[in-house]
Amino acid sequence: MLSDITIGQFFPGKSIVHRLDPRAKILLVIAFIILLFVVRNPVSFVLIGIFLAVIYIVAKIPARAIWRGVKPILPLILFTSILNLFFVDGEPLVKWWIFKITAEGISVAVLMAVRIVCLIIGSLLLTYTTSPIALTDAIERLLKPLKVIRFPVHEMAMMMTIALRFIPTLLEETDKIMSAQKARGADLETGSIIRRAKALIPILIPLFVSAFRRAEDLALAMECRCYRGGEGRTRMKQLHFSHLDGISAVATGVVFVAAVLLDVFLPKII
Amino acid sequence: MSDLIEFQHVSFSYHQSEEDAEPIPVLHEVNLSIKKGEFVAVLGHNGSGKSTLAKHINAILQPTEGVVYVDHIDTRDDELVFDIRQHVGMVFQNPDNQIVATIVEEDVAFALENLGVPPKEIRRRVDDALKDVGMFAYREHAPHQLSGGQKQRVAIAGIIAMNPDCIVLDEPTAMLDPKGRREVLNTIERLNKEYQTTVILITHFMDEAVRADRVVVVDEGRVLMDDVPKAVFVQVERLKEIGLDVPQVTELAYELRKAGVAFAPDVLTVEEFTEEFKRIMEA
């Protein structure tokens, strides 16, 4: 039951989007986020929307995946929209007691909502098309310059890899411990929230003890395989920027510039 | 041929956490030498010191007294620890707790990446190592999709990718099902026969020890016996005294002899037993 949980949200595939260098993808997503906060014009957002739709179709990501990603942050979107709706100054359209709704408020609220939705959909694309391992790898390489200021880049990446490696193992273990405790009469499903939380303690304690034991074993095994930190380490899989990365960077760039130009030259609405 | 591993009067005690507490002695005056290409089984019950002995071979532990030489390097030399670990790879009991990476081939590459081997060379050695243990088809799998025996073979591949002279396996089959045990043992045996890799197999399974060239019996931190399997296992009573078993057929032969049948005492496998049985019946 627990082992059904998949790690991350990766949809394996062989599309162009999947084959891009993970570093290129991360950088493009960052550029995309900046773009979202630069443009304000609805026409630009229509262009961005088409752009996202095209990539999702190329990457063959099902539409329900988008919905699954957006759903959990709907309350947040609603909350920010309501705040914007009431607290942006301008010519009031409706006024009631201390609340007033302005035309500016409505447009800012809609703009923010659209921005956040685009932001989520755009960055989900990264996790949908890149395996967690490739992401870890790319982050390690992108952050490498931070070593100069003694930021432990390699250690962080190693921690992420080990965490990813042990998630399924520990899930399986949790399952076993739960069965063992149930076999001894532990009641995990009924009672108030506090009761159920308390019932988790006899599951968490053995899980922690075992996790520490595993950590000790793993550290020993790593030492036996000559691990001594990131110093002088090479990697089997090298990341190479290919033509594909160049082409997609140019294509994305064109769309982004078009969006910005539209924003600059079209009449301002907001 | 020169000795690859040499223990000279090695004693070892664990220090307890309280300072004035007496250290717990684990090994006493161990003398042992292992030649290149040997397949040595180390037998002993739990707490006999066999794992402690194994950890001395790749400088995880250093002797309290005496010296351990690995390929003429003193294991107390901290500067050469990584040279020693490259010579002597170690495989542990729990396959889950020694796999680092999320993909099989990445894990096999781990040691080579640590050693700073160039990427192309890593690729070649990883592929070779995976083929040697018969796991090449699974190179892109995640470790948790594999069976225990397969995981243990991946762990072995991770070690042999380093091209060590010697592999120490600390009860590698203790957590596996019979099929997994067979897979792992066959792999170990093949490495020893085909590549002349020195194998030191720590175990408490008698039928595994039988397959070695030499059996070292450890009890209470001392080397009790050190001989070819046949010479060790005929000493049924002595082994039982220290809480060890002998292979089932050897025990049967022993009981038959006690009952007055002129059965050869040194039968270790079922095949040898049937041969001997036939001979007796014909006589």
List, for residues B231-274, the tens digit of each pLDDT value.
888 888 888 888 888 888 888 888 888 888 888 888 888 888 88
Bridge partners, B65 (sequence order) = B11
- Give just the sign of the alpha carbon dihedral B38, B39, B43, B48: positive
B102/A238 touch (CB, cutoff 8 Å), yes or no: no
B92/A217 touch (CB, cutoff 8 Å), yes or no: yes
Q: Which of B192, B225, B165, B183 is nearest to B42 (CA)?
A: B225
What is the average per-residue pLDDT within B191-216?
Answer: 91
Residue A100: its H or E element: strand A99-102
pLDDT band for position B135 (cuts 50, 70, 90): very high
Distance, in Å, from the CA atom of B174 to the CA atom of B208, rounded to the nearest integer, reads 11
What is the average per-residue pLDDT within B126-154?
Answer: 92
B144 vs A contacts (CB less than 8 Å) = 168-169, 172
Looking up residue B150, the CATH number of its domain turns out to be 3.40.50.300
B94 vs A contacts (CB less than 8 Å) = 214, 217
Distance, in Å, from the CA atom of B93 to the CA atom of B95, rounded to the nearest integer, reads 6
Distance, in Å, from the CA atom of A108 to the CA atom of A90, rounded to the nearest integer, reads 11
Cβ-nearest to A218 among B98, B144, B162 = B98
Q: How far is A233 from chain B (nearest CA, A)?
A: 5
Nearest CA in chain A to B170: A221
The complex's ipTM works out to 0.87
CB pairs under 8 A between A and B: 94
* A147 in contact with chain B, both atoms CB, cutoff 8 A: no
Residue A82: the pLDDT is 86
Half-sphere exposure of B223 (CA within 13 A, CB side): 19
What is the average per-residue pLDDT within B160-171?
Answer: 92
> Which two three-digit tokens encode residue A123?
């960055």
Residue A5: the pLDDT is 42
B99/A232 touch (CB, cutoff 8 Å), yes or no: no
For residue B271, being part of any structural domain is answered with no
What is the average per-residue pLDDT within B203-229?
Answer: 90
Residue A94: its H or E element: strand A92-96
DSSP chain B: --EEEEEEEEEEEEPPSSTTSPPEEEEEEEEEEEETT-EEEEE--TTSSHHHHHHHHTTSS--SEEEEEETTEETT-GGGHHHHHHHEEEE-S-GGGG--SSSHHHHHHHHHHHTT--HHHHHHHHHHHHHHTT-GGGTTS-GGGS-HHHHHHHHHHHHHTT--SEEEEESTTTTS-HHHHHHHHHHHHHHHHHH--EEEEEES-HHHHTTSSEEEEEETTEEEEEE-HHHHHT-HHHHHHTT----HHHHHHHHHHHTT----S---SHHHHHHHHHHHHH-
A162 vs B contacts (CB less than 8 Å) = 100
For residue B112, what are the domain limits? 3-246
A165/B82 touch (CB, cutoff 8 Å), yes or no: no
Residue A8: the pLDDT is 55
Nearest CA in chain B to A169: B144
Q: Which of residues 194-233 of A touch B (CB under 8 A)?
A: 213-214, 217-218, 220-228, 232-233
Task: Give the C-alpha distances (Å, rounded to integers) separating B17 from B14, B21, B31.
Answer: 9, 8, 29
Instruction: Tell me the three state secondary structure of residue A151.
Output: coil
pLDDT in tens, chain A (270 residues): 344 444 456 787 888 888 899 999 999 999 999 999 888 888 889 999 999 999 999 988 888 888 888 888 889 899 988 888 887 777 777 777 777 778 888 888 888 899 999 999 998 888 888 888 888 889 988 998 888 888 888 999 899 889 888 988 898 899 999 999 889 888 877 778 888 888 888 899 999 999 999 999 999 999 999 998 878 888 888 888 888 889 989 999 999 999 888 888 877 665
For residue B259, being part of any structural domain is answered with no
pTM of the model: 0.82
Domain-wise residue ranges, chain A:
10-144+239-265, 152-224
Half-sphere exposure of A268 (CA within 13 A, CB side): 5
- pLDDT at B108 exceeding the cut of 90: yes
For residue B255, being part of any structural domain is answered with no
- pLDDT at B3 exceeding the cut of 90: no
Half-sphere exposure of A36 (CA within 13 A, CB side): 22
What is the average per-residue pLDDT within B99-125?
Answer: 92
Per-residue pLDDT tens digits for B56-67: 998 889 999 999
Bridge partners, B35 (sequence order) = B3
What is the average per-residue pLDDT within B17-26?
Answer: 76
Nearest CA in chain B to A131: B102
* A19 in contact with chain B, both atoms CB, cutoff 8 A: no
For residue B276, being part of any structural domain is answered with no
User: Which residues of chain B have a Cβ shorter than 8 Å from any chain A Cβ?
Assistant: 58, 60, 82, 85-86, 89-90, 92, 94, 96-103, 105-106, 109-119, 122-123, 126, 142-144, 155, 158-159, 162
Cβ-nearest to A226 among B86, B98, B119 = B86
- pLDDT at B177 exceeding the cut of 60: yes
Of all residues in chain B, what percent carry a pLDDT higher than 90?
Answer: 48
Question: Rounded to 5 degrees, what angle do the CA atoms A53, A56, A59 make?
Answer: 150
Number of domains observed in the structure of chain B: 1
Which of B114, B127, B139 should be substituted to probe chain A, the one whose Cβ sees the most A Cβ atoms within 10 Å?
A: B114
For residue B118, being part of any structural domain is answered with yes
Q: For residue B53, which phi and psi values (nearest 5 degrees)? A: -60, -45
CA end-to-end distance (rounded Å), chain B: 43
Q: For residue B49, which phi and psi values (nearest 5 degrees)? A: 105, 5
A232 vs B contacts (CB less than 8 Å) = 116
What is the average per-residue pLDDT within B5-21?
Answer: 82
Residue A1: the pLDDT is 36
Question: Rounded to 5 degrees, what angle do the CA atoms A52, A54, A56 make?
Answer: 70
Instruction: Tell me the three state secondary structure of residue A200.
Output: helix
In this structure, the number of other CB atoms found within 10 A of the CB of residue A114 comes to 17
Cβ-nearest to A234 among B60, B98, B116 = B116
Query: What is the 3-class SS of B172-191, one letter each residue?
Result: CCCCCCHHHHHHHHHHHHHH
Q: How far is A218 from chain B (nearest CA, A)?
A: 5
Distance, in Å, from the CA atom of B267 to the CA atom of B253, rounded to the nearest integer, reads 7
A225/B85 touch (CB, cutoff 8 Å), yes or no: yes
B85/A162 touch (CB, cutoff 8 Å), yes or no: no
- Give just the sign of the alpha carbon dihedral A238, A241, A244, A248: positive
A236/B109 touch (CB, cutoff 8 Å), yes or no: yes
* A234 in contact with chain B, both atoms CB, cutoff 8 A: yes
B116/A232 touch (CB, cutoff 8 Å), yes or no: yes
Distance, in Å, from the CA atom of A98 to the CA atom of A9, rounded to the nearest integer, reads 44
* Greatest Cα-to-Cα distance within chain B, rounded to the nearest angstrom: 68
A237 vs B contacts (CB less than 8 Å) = 106, 119
pLDDT band for position B19 (cuts 50, 70, 90): low
Residue that is written with structure tokens 């400088």 in the block: B59
Taking a C-beta distance cutoff of 8 angstroms, is the pair B166, B57 a contact? Answer: yes
